[in-house]
A and B are shown apart, each in its own frame.
Chain A
Amino acid sequence: EAGVVQSPRYKIIEKKQPVAFWCNPISGHNTLYWYRQNLGQGPELLIRYENEEAVDDSQLPKDRFSAERLKGVDSTLKIQPAELGDSAVYLCASSSSGLSYEQYFGPGTRLTVT
């Protein structure tokens, strides 16, 4: 069974530029999560999807961050414009139900904003 796939693995951009991250969850997993992990910290949830619906986006900075999961499968997280403080690892995870008891994580995208 293929795991959670994320791309790109690494991204370096200048501040004020846009950037997008892509995630393909495990087949059959209805729930998809985006996390941000700052250096030396644990992951923090940005947004959670149940199929196509964003059921929890309370921690997503909506002035510059957006996300979509149009067909209830893969998802894209976008930052526009990026700021220096956005440098972090962006992790995608999926689970098979609405309960977040067992989440499967992708390898993450390491973003560096210069």
Chain B
Amino acid sequence: AQSVTQLGSHVSVSEGALVLLRCNYSSSVPPYLFWYVQYPNQGLQLLLKYTTGATLVKGINGFEAEFKKSETSFHLTKPSAHMSDAAEYFCAVIGGSQGNLIFGKGTKLSVKP
């Protein structure tokens, strides 16, 4: 069965520092992978997705993620953190018998001035 594991429930970085949020997946078939962001008291917003093709995927707000099959990883990065990046980030994979989104537990990103 497909699943995702997000390493670290809380990550704190300084403004201007590199952001790295880790996601590892488990899938018996080529995975479709996603990163969503959730700001306080809001719904989830799609940041980026990997389906097929280029393994380095660029998303909104300067985020990108690289699909590494050998490491079963899909880590999210941003070169320089901004205060407005403070939010919760969810990695997800298409899975289950119905092909639904399966989410990780989330990583809360804090950005210090």
Q: Chain A: residues with CB nearer than 8 A to chain B?
A: 4, 33, 40-45, 48, 55-56, 58, 91, 93, 99-108
Contact = CB atoms under 8 A, between A and B. Distances in A.
Contacts of B103: 42-44
Contact of B105 (A4, A41, A100, A106): A41
27 contacts: A40-B9, A40-B106, A41-B106, A42-B104, A42-B106, A43-B101, A43-B103, A44-B103, A45-B101, A48-B98, A55-B98, A56-B100, A91-B43, A91-B44, A93-B43, A99-B99, A100-B94, A100-B100, A100-B101, A101-B51, A102-B46, A103-B46, A105-B36, A105-B43, A105-B44, A105-B45, A106-B43
A108 B43 contact: yes
B100 A42 contact: no
Contact of A42 (B42, B43, B105): B105
B41 interface: yes
A107 B41 contact: yes
B92 interface: yes
Interface of B: 9, 32, 34, 36, 41-46, 49, 51, 90, 92, 94, 98-101, 103-106
A56 B94 contact: no
Between A91, A103, A107, the greatest number of chain B beta carbons within 10 A of the residue's beta carbon is seen for: A103
Nearest to A56: B98
Given A44-B103, A108-B42, 9 more contacts: A40-B106, A42-B106, A43-B44, A45-B100, A56-B100, A101-B51, A103-B101, A105-B43, A107-B42
A90 to B, nearest CB: 11
Contacts of A33: 100
A43 B42 CA distance: 13
A103 to B, nearest CB: 7
B104 A101 contact: no
A101 B98 contact: no
Nearest to B45: A105
Nearest to A95: B101
Nearest to A110: B41
